[in-house]
Structure 1
Amino acid sequence: MKAVVCKAWGLPDSLEVQELPDLVAGLGEVVIEVKAAGVNFPDVLIIQGKYQVKPALPFTPGSELSGVVRAVGDGVASVKVGDKVIAFTAQGAFAQQVVAQAAAVMPMPPGMDFDTAAAITLTYGTSHHAVVDRAGLKAGETMLVLGAAGGVGLAAIEIGKALGARVIAAASSDEKLAVCRAHGADDTINYTTADLREAIKAATGGKGPDVIYDPVGGAYSEAAFRSIGWRGRYLVVGFANGEIPKLPWNLMLLKGASVVGVFWGEFAKREPKANMGAMRQLLGWLAEGKIKPRISGRYALADTATALNDMAARKVTGKVVIVP
């Protein structure tokens, strides 16, 4: 089978596609023939050794996928050979085959296509954990989403609307904001042409948002936090900007506000039952049409480097997938 291999820390163009032996299922494991694998910003960081988790070299990147069960190991009764499934793995998804723990594999709902199935685990899982679990967003509250046209940003918009909240989307271009409105955003802010604090003030009538969802970091974080409402919850989701912000602690005091960390991968590992419960709610919302992943591009396995470069250059809206 063919797989993308990271042999040394570096940029996407250093990745290689290699022929490797077919995979074998061990105890409690499932081998899946990959039909689609979701591409996420952490993949760009992981291959450079810049992420919170560093796999041992060499390794195959990619952590969310959909496909067909090829083999099951001893002790696996939840799926069988031939089943269409969704899976989350620590690594290995950018390949024709992947091994996953049975506990991280779930059947695909009837009628779901492989691209959509590969796009719901990490982005929607992250945003559900952030918005529902960590922030406790309620109907009638207001949430500001930074970097709103990306995969987790669009997921946050849709989840916020499913919960009955008002959602303000902030992004770097009018084209991206049009995508955000198509996914349910009530109001939008172009933070390259508008003063972010003034725009937030105008959009919230001076009250400030109850929740701020920030997967970007960098210079906009402090401006956003200074605009948060009383008892607001600021979600630290990631640092796509490349810069980890440093916030003055007096801001939390003055607003009675909380800074809340979001690490979905660790949550999924430590609290698998809670994570599966979240996934069931997401799949229910998907069936009801309340959420709909945007697949903006499909790449062959040989074009994985291009997909990651496009992700790093912020050319992606919503999700893109690798199709082995």
Structure 2
Amino acid sequence: MKDAIRSATGGKGCDVVIDGVGGPVFGPSLAAMAVGGRYVVVGSASQSPGMLDSRHLLVRNQTVVGFIVAHVVDADPAEPQAALTLMCDLVRSGDVRPVVTTLPLEDVVEAHRLMESRDLVGKLVLTTGFSGTVES
């Protein structure tokens, strides 16, 4: 992963890592960060800790922080709405493109395998082929 990211960034590395997995991706993601980069932990789907040698942060002037939206809501309930509006605007403009894999419902076993293997990047949507409306 480190080599692919460095290659894609002209050797610099990424400025920001947003990690919702932790554990096994922590070290490689940290190694792929640029000097002065920021690592934001937003979850721990792997349920295993990421190990850190703090000297790495020191010599590369990097920062690791945790973020959970509940604390932002407590401090300022309007802030999450503003952030959501900004994110929607970025998606609408094409500046941010969500990664979505779509599979038919019949492939639910494959979808489950992808989710368990952690080989999937982004979101997975199962489609039913239904295109009508539901009335209550």
- The question of a shared fold, defined as TM-score above 0.5 by the shorter chain, is answered with yes
Measured in 1, the distance between the counterparts of 2:123 and 2:43 equals 16
Matches within 5 A, 1:266-305: 266-288=71-93, 290=95, 294=100, 296=102
Q: Which of the residues 24, 28, 32 maps onto 1:227? A: 32
Question: Which whole-Å deviations, capped at 9, do the CAs of 1:233-255 have from their partners, x for residues lacking one?
Answer: 01112222232202111111011
Measured in 1, the distance between the counterparts of 2:101 and 2:4 equals 29
Change (3 A) 1:227 1:268: same
Matches within 5 A, 1:118-137: none
Measured in 1, the distance between the counterparts of 2:119 and 2:80 equals 30
Per residue, is there more helix in 1 or in 2?
2
Cα RMSD, aligned residues only: 3.1
Change (3 A) 1:289 1:212: closer
1:240 counterpart SS class: coil
Matched, 1:253 2:75: no
Measured in 1, the distance between the counterparts of 2:101 and 2:2 equals 31
Post-superposition offset of 1:226: 2.4
Matches within 5 A, 1:1-324: 196-288=1-93, 290=95, 294=100, 296=102, 310=112, 313=116, 314=118, 317-320=122-125
Equivalent pairs: percent with the same residue?
Answer: 27
Measured in 1, the distance between the counterparts of 2:8 and 2:103 equals 32
1:284 counterpart SS class: helix
Measured in 2, the distance between the counterparts of 1:207 and 1:315 equals 25
Measured in 2, the distance between the counterparts of 1:198 and 1:315 equals 18
**AA aligned opposite 2:3:** E
2:36 counterpart SS class: coil
Post-superposition offset of 1:296: 3.4
**AA aligned opposite 1:266:** H
Which has the greater radius of gyration? 1
Q: Do the aligned partners of 1:228 and 1:255 also contact (CA within 8 Å) in 2? A: no
Q: TM-score, normalised by structure 2?
A: 0.65
Change (3 A) 1:289 1:230: closer
Match of 2:130 in 1: none
Change (3 A) 1:208 1:277: same
Could you list the runs of 5+ residues in structure 2 that have no partner in the other structure? 127-136
Measured in 2, the distance between the counterparts of 1:233 and 1:220 equals 15
Post-superposition offset of 1:286: 4.5
2:53 counterpart SS class: coil
2:11 counterpart SS class: coil
Aligned residues: 118
Measured in 2, the distance between the counterparts of 1:264 and 1:222 equals 24
